[in-house]
Structure 1
Amino acid sequence: ISINQIEETNRLFISPVMLSVVVEHIFLLVLVTLISVLQNAFFATKVEREGKEHHANTSAFERVSCANRNCMDSYPTFLAVLWCAGLCLNQAPAAFSGLIYLVARQKYFVGYMGQTSQSTPGYVFGKRVLSFLFLMCIVGIFNLLLVRYFGNDFKDTVETITTAASALLLIP
């Protein structure tokens, strides 16, 4: 096998059309992930700025630093359920829920900078969004198992329900 044959085989497997179809199915998830990266950079900048403006052992620095650590501790869980829900079920409600989670995380971070009790609403709201994304993952995986072993596909019905239910996340 020559190098040209290998390159031709790779071009056949990953055609531009195929690549655009794949990107179309994950575009919203990628967008939410990049926004979350920018938010992480914002949080890190706040911690760095607070450390430079005040001494690193002040209570304000401790609160900002703790809020950043707490947000970073839940970040891998957020990414896992976001992508699992988007890939196994539907990317639109998963991405919408992801944006709502980022708003809740921002509310948590800003609330923690004031007093730790002000961060509770953001924490509870973020926890609810993560639970919804986790439920989407479970339903998506269950539907894939139903298709595989029983031939029943309820994906359209479940997508309709999750799309409508994701709007309910806006209710406090």
Structure 2
Amino acid sequence: MDNNKVVENIYLLVIVTLISVLQNAFFANKVEKECKPKNTQHTSAFERVTCANRNCMDLYPTFLAVMWCAGLCLSQAPAAFAGIIYLVVRQKYFVGYLGQTSQSTPGYLFGKRILSFLFLMCIVGILNYLLTRYFGSNYKEYVDLFTNAASALLLIP
């Protein structure tokens, strides 16, 4: 397999990964700004921003793993689309957490739904591979059609 073919199969996933790195830098910058000593005590804003950052970082490896697995095992376009939506939701969660923690709940629940969708894509991709390998039945075209249609449903709150 030549390098152009490999890049063609993963470039959308790479773009989403790089955007997520920029988002992590934004989160770190917010924590750093709140960390600057205005007074000797940590404020409630500092507590909220560090908690929101920690929560986002806890799920970050899971997000990357399921997005990449879904993109490689099944289809990169729906996986990358779900990844972009997840990053938007994670931003909403982070900003909502800075206001009041109750404002972050919709972002948290929506993010769980997107991670579940990516996980399901991984499972379907692996099952399709096993069916193809051991039984000669390739359902990739049907699965791709369904996955592309289902990824648009992620936009429904």
TM tier relative to shorter chain: over 0.9
Distance, in Å, in 2 between the alignment partners of 1:45 and 1:147 is: 47
Distance, in Å, in 2 between the alignment partners of 1:54 and 1:125 is: 35
Instruction: List structure 1 segments (4+ residues) > 4 angstroms apart after TM superposition.
Output: none
Structure 2 residue corresponding to 1:106, chosen from 85, 91, 116: 91
Residue matched to 2:9: 25
Q: Identity across aligned pairs (percent)?
A: 76
Aligned with 1:39: secondary structure?
helix
Aligned with 2:36: secondary structure?
helix
Structure 1 residue corresponding to 2:118, chosen from 117, 126, 133: 133
Correspondences of 1:32-71 after superposition (within 5 Å): 32-52=16-36, 54-55=38-39, 57-71=42-56
Residue matched to 1:86: 71
- TM-score, normalised with respect to structure 1: 0.89
Alignment length (residue pairs): 156
Say which structure, 1 or 2, has more relative contact order (CA 8 Å, 6+ apart). Answer: 2
Distance, in Å, in 2 between the alignment partners of 1:54 and 1:108 is: 26
Query: How many angstroms does 1:50 deviate by?
Result: 1.1
Which has the greater radius of gyration?
Answer: 1
What per-residue deviation string (whole Å, max 9, x for no partner) do you get for residues 131-172 of structure 1? 000000000000000001100000010011000100000000
Query: How many angstroms does 1:51 deviate by?
Result: 1.1
Structure 1 residue corresponding to 2:132, chosen from 115, 127, 147: 147
Distance, in Å, in 1 between the alignment partners of 2:151 and 2:115 is: 12
Query: How many angstroms does 1:57 deviate by?
Result: 1.2
Q: Kindly indicate whether the alpha-carbon contact (under 8 Å) linking 1:43 and 1:68 is maintained by their aligned counterparts in 2.
A: yes
Residue identity opposite 1:82 in structure 2: M
What per-residue deviation string (whole Å, max 9, x for no partner) do you get for residues 85-104 of structure 1? 00000000000000000000
Q: Any stretches of 5+ residues in structure 2 without a counterpart?
A: none
- TM-score, normalised with respect to structure 2: 0.97
Q: Any stretches of 5+ residues in structure 1 without a counterpart?
A: 1-13
What per-residue deviation string (whole Å, max 9, x for no partner) do you get for residues 43-81 of structure 1? 000000111164461100000000000000000000000
Q: Structure 1 residues 121, 53: closer, same or farther in 2, change over 3 A?
A: farther
Residue identity opposite 2:35 in structure 1: G
